[in-house]
């Protein structure tokens, strides 16, 4: 007998570390006050930006590679259910075990249970965005399991009980003196004479971690790619800590978002050119590990994969926002973003900061979750992110789309319309007719009067006060262009109502009217 349990409620949004707990402007205000942070970030983002530009410029087919990356991801999203089943079949056939997780809680439970089955209470970790997203380390700790981050920057952040502020360079907000202090305070085996020389710090971390690698029985990783036609997983990294975690322990548990699939090995070729250049600004990353199920007597003998939805199906259901799932977590968008450069990653609240975070977080959680509706406004729409994105995600268009989702979600729900609502409605009325705009412009001399003898407006009320907090407004002209044009053409058209098709006489001297 079968029982119909009904369809799951859609959309099923994500949970975990995906939320802005306060509005972006409030968080940004605080972060902007940290001069050290701004200096660190400005230096770091500009360095990576320049490195990326150099290695991207040397490829004559960079634009074609971006097109190919975008096209492959688009086809993956269009056939995701089929690809997931194909991957599951191949991964299982080669000895791996697949687990499906709807959200952060399910994924955390699955991982904790798998660790418990091994009888271990410690795991080593490869840097992974998916496990940051679901808050795995904190959950495991609650369950009496200790997770050790092995990526250097991730280790620094973990030792400091802090949160990453960048997806590739999690400790971008810390300088080397701060790092030395963290090591001395939190690393039991640290040499008290430790200096802040980067190689010395790296060696201290290396010694600390080596002991963990050699004793750990369980590793937890994320994955950059999963190849459907062979059931292969891939991790791309720089330090070799990943290779250690992926090969030495007996049990390997990988947590991966369902959007990471690629149809074939051939598709990987495109992404192995796009990713290192876009992320670390290198032609090729130092370590690429690929594993296909279990190999007897070689590497982990218990291989698990947790396939994580956590709002990805909801994002996929948004036709305009869907391509945010093309993201390969390279971080090029945040490195070129003028907003991220000044606020840093913590201002975004979520695991995913910067331009991609400003679209991905609200897509995964729904626009109404906590303060995530403030994230799509955290951009001047300058478009630098779109130009830098290796898979051509049109981030500015999606930001604008999510702003309209936000505005529409609030229509009719408020007792009183906001200043912005009222302003936009009035502007829509005035700006949807030449005649009405002309009428409004008759008031320009009033603004001129308000500007006073120094001919500038220095203080405005309400939301417009945001403008005058750091900028003046020039005194408006005595006459609009429209008005001037109409008077110039009075002979030909009716007064004040210029003939739409009438041309300006080139011979006419308009010098007088300009004064």
Partner 1 sequence: MRIALFATCIVDAMYPATAKATVKILERLGHEVVFPSGQACCGQMHVNSGYLNEAVPVVANHVAAFDTADYDVAVAPSGSCVASVKHQHPMVARSCGDAALEARATAVGAKTYELSELLVDVLGVTDAGAQLGSYFPHRVTYHPSCHGMRLLRLGDRQSRLLRTVQGIDLADLPEADQCCGFGGTFSMKNADVSSAMLQDKAANVESTGAELCTGGDASCLMHIGGGLSRQGSSTATLHLAEILASTMEEPASVTGEVRVSTGKALR
Q: Which of residues 360-379 bind partner 1 (CB under 8 A)?
A: 376-379
The residues in 137-156 that bind partner 1, with binding defined as CB under 8 A, are none
Question: Does residue 515 touch partner 1 according to CB under 8 A?
Answer: yes
Does residue 146 sit in helix, strand or coil?
strand
Helical pair 481-488 and 434-441, crossing angle rounded to 10 deg: 100
Closest distance between partner 1 and the C-beta of residue 403, in Å? 3
- Our CB check for partner 1 shows the closer of 170 and 376 to be 376
The residue ranges of DSSP E strands in 97-227, in sequence order, are 97-101, 122-125, 146-149, 218-221, 225-227
The residues in 417-436 that bind partner 1, with binding defined as CB under 8 A, are 420, 424-425, 427-428, 430-436
List the one residue from 108, 165, 279, 343 that touches partner 1 (CB under 8 A).
343
- Our CB check for partner 1 shows the closer of 14 and 476 to be 476
Closest distance between partner 1 and the C-beta of residue 151, in Å? 29
What's the sign of the alpha-carbon dihedral 254, 257, 258, 259? negative
The residues in 22-81 that bind partner 1, with binding defined as CB under 8 A, are 24-25, 28-29, 32, 38
- Our CB check for partner 1 shows the closer of 132 and 343 to be 343
Cis omega (within 30 of 0) on the bond before 297?
A: no
Q: Scanning the structure block, which residue is given the tokens 């279990």? A: 294
CA distance 91 to 83: 12
List the one residue from 51, 105, 163, 403 that touches partner 1 (CB under 8 A).
403
Question: Nearest CA to 496 among 483, 506, 509?
Answer: 483
Closest distance between partner 1 and the C-beta of residue 259, in Å? 25
CA distance 338 to 113: 43
Closest distance between partner 1 and the C-beta of residue 204, in Å? 36
The residues in 442-501 that bind partner 1, with binding defined as CB under 8 A, are 444, 451, 454-456, 458, 463-467, 469-482, 484-486, 497-501
- Our CB check for partner 1 shows the closer of 95 and 477 to be 477
Question: Does residue 332 touch partner 1 according to CB under 8 A?
Answer: no
* Cβ–Cβ under 8 Å, residues 310 and 103: yes
Closest distance between partner 1 and the C-beta of residue 43, in Å? 14
- Our CB check for partner 1 shows the closer of 21 and 417 to be 417
- Our CB check for partner 1 shows the closer of 203 and 424 to be 424
Q: Is 37 exposed, middle or buried (0-12, 13-18, 19+ CB in 10 A)?
A: buried
Please count the residues of this chain forming the interface with partner 1, following the rule CB under 8 A.
85
β pairing state of 302-308 and 97-101: parallel
Does residue 497 sit in helix, strand or coil?
strand
Site string for partner 1, 383-402 (x = CB under 8 A): xx-xx------------x-x
CA distance 271 to 277: 10
Contacts of 94 (CB under 8 A, 6+ apart): 231, 292, 293, 294
Would you state the structure tokens that stand for residue 243, as one six-digit string?
């290779």
CA distance 336 to 423: 32
Closest distance between partner 1 and the C-beta of residue 387, in Å? 6
Closest distance between partner 1 and the C-beta of residue 280, in Å? 22
- Our CB check for partner 1 shows the closer of 102 and 487 to be 487
Eight-state DSSP code of residue 100? E
Closest distance between partner 1 and the C-beta of residue 195, in Å? 34
Eight-state DSSP code of residue 8? P
List the one residue from 106, 149, 318, 406 that touches partner 1 (CB under 8 A).
406
């Amino acid at each position: 007998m079968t029982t119909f349990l009904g369809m799951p409620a859609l959309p099923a949004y994500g949970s975990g570390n995906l939320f802005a707990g306060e509005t972006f402007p409030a968080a940004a205000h605080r972060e902007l006050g940290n001069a050290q942070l701004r200096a660190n970030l400005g230096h770091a983002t500009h360095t990576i930006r320049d490195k990326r530009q150099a290695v991207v410029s040397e490829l004559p087919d960079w634009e074609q590679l971006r097109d190919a990356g975008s096209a492959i991801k688009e086809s993956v999203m269009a056939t995701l259910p089929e690809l997931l089943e194909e991957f599951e079949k191949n991964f299982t056939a080669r000895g791996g075990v697949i687990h499906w997780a709807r959200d952060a809680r399910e994924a955390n439970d699955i991982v904790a249970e798998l660790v418990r089955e091994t009888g271990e209470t410690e795991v080593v970790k490869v840097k992974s965005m998916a496990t940051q997203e679901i808050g795995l380390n904190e959950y495991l700790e609650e369950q009496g399991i200790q997770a050790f981050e092995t990526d250097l920057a991730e280790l620094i952040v973990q030792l400091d009980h802090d949160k990453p502020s960048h997806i590739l360079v999690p400790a971008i907000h810390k300088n080397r003196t701060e790092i030395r202090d963290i090591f001395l305070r939190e690393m039991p085996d640290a040499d008290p004479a430790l200096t802040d020389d980067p190689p010395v710090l790296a060696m201290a971390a290396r010694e600390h971690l080596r002991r963990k690698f050699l004793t750990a029985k369980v590793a937890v990783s994320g994955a950059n790619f999963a190849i459907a036609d062979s059931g292969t997983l891939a991790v791309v990294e720089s330090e070799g800590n990943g290779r250690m975690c992926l090969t030495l322990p007996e049990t390997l548990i990988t947590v991966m978002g369902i959007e990471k699939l690629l149809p074939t090995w051939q598709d990987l070729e495109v992404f192995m050119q796009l990713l290192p250049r876009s992320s670390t600004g290198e032609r090729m990353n130092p370590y690429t590990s690929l594993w296909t199920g279990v190999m007897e007597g070689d590497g982990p003998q218990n291989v698990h994969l947790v396939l994580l939805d956590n709002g990805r199906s909801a994002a996929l259901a948004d036709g305009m926002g869907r391509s945010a799932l093309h993201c390969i977590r390279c971080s090029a968008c945040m490195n070129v973003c003028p907003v991220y450069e000044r606020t840093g990653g913590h201002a975004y609240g979520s695991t995913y900061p910067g331009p991609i975070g400003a679209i991905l977080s609200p897509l995964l959680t729904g626009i109404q979750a906590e303060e995530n509706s403030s994230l799509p406004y955290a951009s001047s729409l300058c478009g630098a992110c779109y130009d830098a994105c290796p898979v051509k995600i049109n981030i500015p268009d999606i930001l604008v789309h999510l702003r309209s989702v936000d505005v529409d979600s609030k229509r009719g729900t408020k007792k009183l319309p906001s200043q912005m609502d009222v302003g936009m409605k009035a502007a829509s009325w005035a700006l949807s007719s030449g005649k009405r705009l002309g009428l409004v412009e008759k008031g320009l001399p009033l603004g001129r009067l308000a500007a006073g003898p120094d001919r500038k407006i220095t203080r405005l009320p309400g939301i417009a006060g945001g403008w005058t907090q750091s900028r003046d407004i020039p005194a408006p002209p005595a006459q609009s262009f429209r008005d001037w044009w109409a008077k110039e053409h009075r002979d030909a058209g009716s007064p004040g109502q210029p003939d739409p098709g009438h041309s300006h006489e080139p011979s006419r001297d308009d010098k007088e009217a300009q004064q």
